[in-house]
Structures are given as structure tokens and as C-alpha cells.
Amino acid sequence: MDSVLAAATSPEGQTEKPVVVVCVGMAGSGKTTFMQRINAHLHGKKEPPYVINLDPAVTHSPFASNIDIRDSVNYKKVMEEYNLGPNGAIMTSLNLFTTKVDQVLGLLEKRAAPDPEHPTRKPVKHILVDTPGQIEVFVWSASGSILLDSLASSFPTIIAYVVDTPRTSSTSTFMSNMLYACSILYKTRLPMIVVFNKTDAKDASFAKEWMTDWEAFQAALNNDENNNSFGGQEGEGSGSGYMGSLLNSMSLMLEEFYNHLSVVSVSSLHGTGIDDFFEAVKEKAEEFKRDYQPELDRRRAEREENKKKQREKELEKMMKGMSMDTTASTSAVGNIKPEDEDMEVLSTDEESEDELDDEQDKEGLQARYEAAMLHQDESTTEDASFVKYLHSQRG
């Protein structure tokens, strides 16, 4: 037992933090099937991952989840009680689940460290997170940002953007997917792996070529223009106008984005390419520690510094208010500051004389009151004697 604790605390035996893989993708891209495949792959290697499901609307999940949003939030009741549509109910469910993010992190950190009570149980090496099919609900919502920032603050976190390969065969849909991937990368500021899924239906070599060879993309773009793939009128070559120039400009703009992107092609149905994916995960985890972690630490330190300055500002404001209250109380019982410099202020001696006169007045008033009460008592006694005398005379 002591050796296990020593291994957990010593630098030589320190356990590596698990890598968080957040799977995002448009509806129908095969994201859930991809999650099932990588989960089964890790189980086959005797390295079971820790699985989190953040999709409250899924009716059937092909894999077991350690943490499931459906256990905490009822999606249908949220829709009924708040009178929301499907997307609004998903976002509201995520917002409600985000209130428990501290508990989620506590469970993850517990499973990431050796357990002294169960020495044979190995700490997890991978944390898999499945997200809703409505990608914008998770990526662009406040709750999604909070969840991603919370995970990245504790573990190396990677975004796996799953793309439906057969649907990206045209240049326009391919560019739409790449622009979405680019926006997610700069929104989350986390390492990204673009996963071209469903390669059993269509090989992803064309997409990789378009990302590395600008001339190849231009040739495909010209081919789409000649085939009137952009919906123009017959014979006008409408693609050579707005759409052609727009896609051409976008391909030039995304060249730098492609250079810093990891791309893998997999088949969730057959399991091909999964080893390549985890090799990319390993590389991105090192990239996270090298490039992203310092930036996250800097931003965290900046937030803490801003919070500290805000607390100091509030404390200074509070102390200033207390000082003003104390000054006001002192001035209420002390000397009155004249608004006009010609006004005279009562001196201390005069105040003392006034206080003495007040005490003398109080003593004189007390003496007069006692004398009046004594006189009243004597009058009452005399009246009683006179009444007694009258009764004796009548008798």
C-alpha cells in the first residue's frame, strides 16, 4: 500500500494524466459509431477508457457511459416544462448539467490517480466525450465552453472533428467542412484532429490531396464549374463567377490552417485507421503540453490576477465607505464644520460649560420634581385627615 502511494506522489512514479478526446461532428457524420469503435479498440487493448455522454436527446447508445447526462437531466421534461424546441432543450439540458461540472472533474481526477483501496485497478489513460449531433449547440454555447475549459484546465484535451467523407466529395461541401473545423479550432483553442470517417464507402485520399496540393483543389474546382455543380443556368458556367472565386480565396486562406492540422481517415464500420487515430492523439497530447498548456496557464493566471484586483478594488471601496461612515458619525457628535469661514465654532471650554449647565438644570429639575411629589403626598394626607374629621362629626 505504501509503495502505491509513493509511486503516486514521487516524480519517478508519477502517473501521466489521461488524454481527453472530445468528439464533435455534424449530424450524420458517424460520430456515435466512431465513439463506439474507439471505445471497443481501447477495451481490446485492456485499457478501458472513461466515457462521458453529453447528448441528452440520444435514445439508444451503443456503448456504456461512466457519466451520462441523461442520468441527471430529463430531456423531454425540459422540453415540456420550458416550452422549448429540440435544440433549445438540448442547450438548456447542457446548461443544467454544467452546474455539476465540479462533481464531474472530481470523478475524473479520482479515476486518473491510483486508488490505494484498489491497487490492481489501473488509472485510466483516455477519457472519451460524446457530444450532441447539433454541433453548434455544444461548440458555440456558454455551457460547452465551460465544459471544455474545465476539462482543459485539468487534462490534455483534444478535439476530434468527425467528417462524413462521402458528403465532402464536392469542393463546396469540402470547403464548408473545413471552414467549420477552422472556426471550432479558433473558438476552442485546443489541438484538433480531422477524422475523415466512412472511408469504406469513399476513400479520403482526394480530401488529403486537396488540403496539401492547392493546384489539385483548383483542378477539382474547375471540374465542378464545368459540370455546373453550383446550380447555375445551363451553359452560363455560373461557377466561374461568385462561387468559384469565393472557394478559390478560401482555399488560399486555409493553407496555414492545413499546415497545423492532423488528418486521419478511418472506417468506424470496419475499424480501419483507428491505430493511426491514436497515434495522432498521442502527438496532439504532446503538442497540448508544449504549446497549449503554457497559454492556458497564462490565461488562468491572468484571470486570477483580474479576480484579485477586483477583490482588492471592492475591499478598498468597502473600507472607504466605512471610513466615510466613521467620519460622519464623529462629526455628528463632535464639532460642526462651518460652511462659512466667518462662522464661529464652539470651543471645548464652552462645550464643557454648556454640559455643566445642562447637568445643573437636570439636577434642579429633579429637585423640583421630588418637592412637588412630596407636596402632593402631604396634601393627600391632609385631605384624608379632613375627610376622617367630617365622618366623626356626622357620627
What is the Cα–Cα distance from 207 to 217, expressed in whole angstroms?
A: 9
The whole-number pLDDT of residue 214 equals 85
pLDDT at 56 over 50: yes
Sheet holding 67-68, edge to edge: 67-68, 50-53, 126-130, 19-25, 157-164, 192-197, 262-265
pLDDT at 341 over 50: no
The whole-number pLDDT of residue 6 equals 40
Summarize the confidence of residues 143-169 as an average pLDDT.
92
pLDDT at 157 over 90: yes
Summarize the confidence of residues 328-343 as an average pLDDT.
48
pLDDT at 14 over 80: no
- CA atoms lying within 13 Å on the CB side of residue 53: 23
Can you tell me whether residue 160 is helix, strand or coil? strand
> Which pLDDT tens digit goes with each residue over 28-40?
899 999 999 999 9
The whole-number pLDDT of residue 230 equals 64
Percentage, residues of the chain above pLDDT 90: 40
The grid coordinates listed for 8 are 503516486
The grid coordinates listed for 304 are 486570477
Summarize the confidence of residues 331-354 as an average pLDDT.
47
The whole-number pLDDT of residue 237 equals 43
267: confidence class by pLDDT, cuts 50, 70, 90: very high
What is the Cα–Cα distance from 243 to 338, expressed in whole angstroms?
A: 79
Can you tell me whether residue 201 is helix, strand or coil? coil
DSSP H or E stretch at residue 275: helix 274-287
277: confidence class by pLDDT, cuts 50, 70, 90: very high
pLDDT at 132 over 70: yes
Query: 41-45, 143-147, 298-302, 325-329 — which one is most confidently predicted on average?
Result: 41-45
Q: How far apart are the first and last CA of the chain?
A: 113
Angle between helices 214-226 and 171-188 (to 10 degrees): 130
β-pair partners for 265:
196
The whole-number pLDDT of residue 49 equals 96
pLDDT at 43 over 60: yes
The whole-number pLDDT of residue 338 equals 45
Summarize the confidence of residues 214-225 as an average pLDDT.
86
The whole-number pLDDT of residue 306 equals 84
pLDDT at 144 over 80: yes
Summarize the confidence of residues 356-376 as an average pLDDT.
55
Sign of CA dihedral 80, 83, 87, 88: negative
pLDDT at 285 over 90: yes
What is the Cα–Cα distance from 284 to 269, expressed in whole angstroms?
A: 25
pLDDT at 140 over 80: yes
pLDDT at 145 over 80: yes
354: confidence class by pLDDT, cuts 50, 70, 90: low
What is the Cα–Cα distance from 77 to 330, expressed in whole angstroms?
A: 60
The whole-number pLDDT of residue 15 equals 59
pTM of the predicted model as reported, rounded to 2 decimal places: 0.71
The whole-number pLDDT of residue 367 equals 61
> Which pLDDT tens digit goes with each residue over 81-118?
999 998 899 999 999 999 999 999 999 999 998 888 87
The whole-number pLDDT of residue 11 equals 41
pLDDT at 178 over 60: yes
225: confidence class by pLDDT, cuts 50, 70, 90: confident
**What value does the mean pLDDT of the chain take?**
79
Summarize the confidence of residues 300-318 as an average pLDDT.
83
Summarize the confidence of residues 168-176 as an average pLDDT.
89
pLDDT at 27 over 70: yes
328: confidence class by pLDDT, cuts 50, 70, 90: low
The grid coordinates listed for 254 are 486555409
